[in-house]
Structure 1
Amino acid sequence: MKSQRLIIEGGNALSGEIKVQGAKNSSLPIIAASLMCKGETVLKNCPCLTDTYASCRILTHLGCTCRFEGNTLTIKPDGINKTEIPDELMREMRSSIIYMGALLGRCGKCGLSFPGGCELGPRPIDMHLSAMKKMGAKVNDEYGTIECTAEHGLKGTKIILKYPSVGTTENIILAAVMAKGETIIMNAAREPEIMDLAAFLNKCGGKIKGAGNSTIVIEGVNELFGCTHYIMPDRIAAATYISAAASTNGEISIHGIDPALCDSFMCVFEQMGCNIYVYDGCIYVNAKKPLKSVGKIITLPHPGFPTDAQAIIMASLCKANGISIFEETIFENRYRHVDSLVKMGADIKVIGKAAIITGVKKIYGAKVSATDLRGGAAMAVAGLGAEGITEITDVEHIDRGYENIEKVLTSMGGKITRA
């Protein structure tokens, strides 16, 4: 099947109002968590993404039934009859490893392969495996497959993470919520999406305290019951549309977002010269002034600057007056979008973990590819602010995390079509 393309005619200032989609990084672990529940789970504000559909294919393979209507996903997991996920399903997305904790927690065993998704460099799963072993699971990870068993169930314990990994924290929460006794996670990831996962599980009958802090305490329960839950808004999608407004010197309002979720990157847009006003569930952005450079930005675990926003904001900084520097500390291959930005006329030099952006007055449309999810979104942001036509190939990467990105941007005056 031929890959789709996005064709963007640049030079049109964005103007208008949008409602931000539900969070990809919240919905995926919650979908996995639903298989641990008895009865029906209803997820509202669930984004229609290829990663969401991939999650549903995994659940369906395991014996669950899934029904998507609009942005409401209904899951019935009572028919689970498998504990192994085939390689072709695991490789559709990077977050598929979270099914390890969910299946071990519900069934006491699982069979997986190594996850796929964007090629951002190694995402070692040693911390996941170490945590499962510490909770009493036997793990065999030879020949590209992972076999886990906990014949007598998982047992609560204290786990100190060497790094506040989001995926590992989520996997431990899923494994621990129905384990025997108390599990304590120290140096846990603090992302808002982890708070949403814990809130969902607590609605289902779980006993999780401290999510959003560096220490999380989970008291195991015997069973969980499905519930109705509203997926939190997507802060990275919000960052993308704010950056698109900045790139085009536009003026937009984003509704359905808690502005506090965006604190980790909002100050960067303000340094760029954007006027930003926040009020209940809304962010107003006026980016009509010429953009300014922002000095140095270091990607860090939450509440630091998110690595997922690095490429997206770099795209609008290409035309900011002065020199801006990114230091990428999370993923080693997260500058794959730079070559395409340079092809469009940007002045960017990568030295080790640092990317040095010297602002130029104009960038120009070109034929580029979406190298990964956020790199693809960066191409869209740059294309909107460029002169001429930009053609983005490999759009399937963008579709993993953005719901109808061309329709959202077109609704604000962008000229973008899918072909």
Structure 2
Amino acid sequence: MDKFVVRGGNPLLGTIKVSGAKNSALPCMAAAILTEEEVVLENIPQVQDIETERKLLTSMGAEVELGYGRAQHRTSIKCAILSDPVAKYEIVKTMRASSLVLGPLIARTGIARVAMPGGCAIGGRPIDLHIKGLEAMGATVTYDHGYLEARVDRLKGAHIVFDKITVTGTEDLLMAATLADGETIFENCAREPEVTDLAALLTAMGAKIEGAGTSTIKVQGVSSLHGARHRINPDRIEAGTFLIAGAITGGDLNVDCCEPEHLSALIAKLEQMGVKLDVGKDHVRVRSGGGPLKAADISTEEYPGFPTDMQAQFMALATQAEGTTTVTENIFENRFMHVSELNRMGANITVSGRTATVRGKSDLQSAAVMCSDLRASAALVLAALVADGESILDRVYHMDRGYERLEEKLRGVGAQIRRMGDVFGKR
């Protein structure tokens, strides 16, 4: 099992490039199910979840080619024949995004059998909103031995109001509605850039969609979709993680190939803490402000609020700020598993319900720590970058699910980080 060994103390200097967004790429790969023609996706990140999605689509009968060499961040998918419309448990058990094949499968084939999904253990992420939406569109959904099975002759347009904002639910039902008979209106939709990115691909495939990126989306169903070529958005969470890496180490780091507009909530908080930022069209430069970091409270919200996927990384930064920071987690109920590991490194963090209180500044010390989920892993790397001594991070396979060769990128800007072992490709 792979580990990271990180020696703290080096400011990060130079330019670091952001990869494509995993959370955009996964639904866009699932969207290829909706057509018999080829879908080509560019700026695909090389992370474990993409490989899992490739295996999933291939198991259903799709032809999936992940590029190599100069085309290493491109994939072509052709679902001419879907001989086995089943998302098998042995494939999807490690990935929450497996639920995203439910909508396109039933829209395309009239039947879908999907294992209840896995992923990070950060709290319940129920699929009931997907089911309610499909039932409103005429599908019959049953649950049997860990699998959801949905059947329909053809989906019908419907008026669907989400009980709560759901990114995967919005994406899943958006894909289903593209081939439904008639108009579907969704209200209380997720507004994340990943939803907008998916809608852009679907539109390129011939879908008729209005309002993506707002709380109300209208879809006029069509009889069929065609192939398309689409470039995946930059990963806003990876970009945010790098911004914090530059800030926490007191470096001078240019985060390139990103979309600053998608980072507005984080940028505002960093500036509130005294971090100097130069924001360009497709890059953000982060520099030490010269003085100590100041505490700033955050409360995670749906986009465009502060993202839950940046909460753990921000908490690592808060350990280096003067004063008391309050972190309130409103999206997932079990997303403070990194707290105990940060405290092992010398942080002063207490948790009460959905609120964590960080008292800084703490002089972090190296330690052996355990990665519990994808973003907690990133937080521990950030803490280790400023800790005194050499830290060992275990179970970094979580990191490989969502960050493309993180240790190589960080080494390129001066971090002392190396990988021990090899479970995901050659490093």
Per the normalisation by structure 2, the TM-score is: 0.96
> What is the DSSP-based 3-state SS (H/G/I as helix, E as strand, rest coil) of the residue aligned with 1:400?
helix
Could you tell me how far apart the structure 2 residues matched to 1:353 and 1:90 are? 29
Could you tell me how far apart the structure 1 residues matched to 2:137 and 2:55 are? 28
Amino acid in the other structure paired with 1:30: C
Could you tell me how far apart the structure 2 residues matched to 1:392 and 1:209 are? 45
Could you tell me how far apart the structure 1 residues matched to 2:86 and 2:119 are? 19
Counterpart position of 2:147: 145
Given the alignment of the two structures, is residue 93 of structure 1 paired with residue 95 of structure 2, yes or no?
A: yes
Counterpart position of 1:44: 42
Could you tell me how far apart the structure 1 residues matched to 2:292 and 2:24 are? 32
Counterpart position of 1:331: 332
Alignment of 1:211-222 (within 5 A): 211-222=212-223
| Alpha-carbon offset, residue 82 of structure 1 | 1.1
Work out whether residues 346 and 362 of structure 2, in 8 Å CA contact, stay in contact via their aligned partners in 1.
Answer: no
Given the alignment of the two structures, is residue 200 of structure 1 paired with residue 198 of structure 2, yes or no?
A: no
Q: How many residue pairs were aligned?
A: 416
Alignment of 1:142-221 (within 5 A): 142-150=144-152, 152-221=153-222
Alignment of 1:208-247 (within 5 A): 208-247=209-248
| Alpha-carbon offset, residue 288 of structure 1 | 4.9
Amino acid in the other structure paired with 2:147: T
Could you tell me how far apart the structure 2 residues matched to 1:401 and 1:178 are? 30
1:302-322, CA deviations, whole angstroms, 9 ceiling, x for partnerless residues? 111100000011111111111
Runs of 4+ in 1 over 3 A off after TM superposition: none
Work out whether residues 3 and 419 of structure 2, in 8 Å CA contact, stay in contact via their aligned partners in 1.
Answer: yes
Amino acid in the other structure paired with 2:263: C
Could you tell me how far apart the structure 1 residues matched to 2:419 and 2:17 are? 21
Counterpart position of 1:108: 110
Could you tell me how far apart the structure 2 residues matched to 1:218 and 1:64 are? 26
Could you tell me how far apart the structure 2 residues matched to 1:104 and 1:79 are? 14
Work out whether residues 347 and 362 of structure 2, in 8 Å CA contact, stay in contact via their aligned partners in 1.
Answer: no
Per the normalisation by structure 1, the TM-score is: 0.98
Work out whether residues 271 and 292 of structure 1, in 8 Å CA contact, stay in contact via their aligned partners in 2.
Answer: no
Counterpart position of 1:82: 84
Work out whether residues 252 and 285 of structure 1, in 8 Å CA contact, stay in contact via their aligned partners in 2.
Answer: yes
Deviates more, 1:44-53 or 1:135-144: 135-144
Given the alignment of the two structures, is residue 55 of structure 1 paired with residue 53 of structure 2, yes or no?
A: yes
Deviates more, 1:31-40 or 1:325-334: 31-40
Distance 1:176 1:291, change over 3 A: farther
Counterpart position of 1:342: 343
Could you tell me how far apart the structure 2 residues matched to 1:237 and 1:290 are? 26
Deviates more, 1:396-405 or 1:219-228: 219-228
1:234-269, CA deviations, whole angstroms, 9 ceiling, x for partnerless residues? 000011011111111111001111211111211111
Could you tell me how far apart the structure 2 residues matched to 1:157 and 1:222 are? 16
Q: Structure 2 unaligned segments of length 5 or more: list them.
A: 421-427
Could you tell me how far apart the structure 2 residues matched to 1:80 and 1:153 are? 17
Could you tell me how far apart the structure 2 residues matched to 1:396 and 1:8 are? 16
Counterpart selection for 1:10 from 8, 11, 28: 8
Could you tell me how far apart the structure 2 residues matched to 1:86 and 1:255 are? 38
Deviates more, 1:140-149 or 1:204-213: 140-149
| Alpha-carbon offset, residue 84 of structure 1 | 1.1
Counterpart position of 1:31: 29
The Cα RMSD (Å) is: 1.0
Work out whether residues 100 and 112 of structure 1, in 8 Å CA contact, stay in contact via their aligned partners in 2.
Answer: yes
Could you tell me how far apart the structure 2 residues matched to 1:116 and 1:291 are? 41
Q: Structure 1 unaligned segments of length 5 or more: list them.
A: none
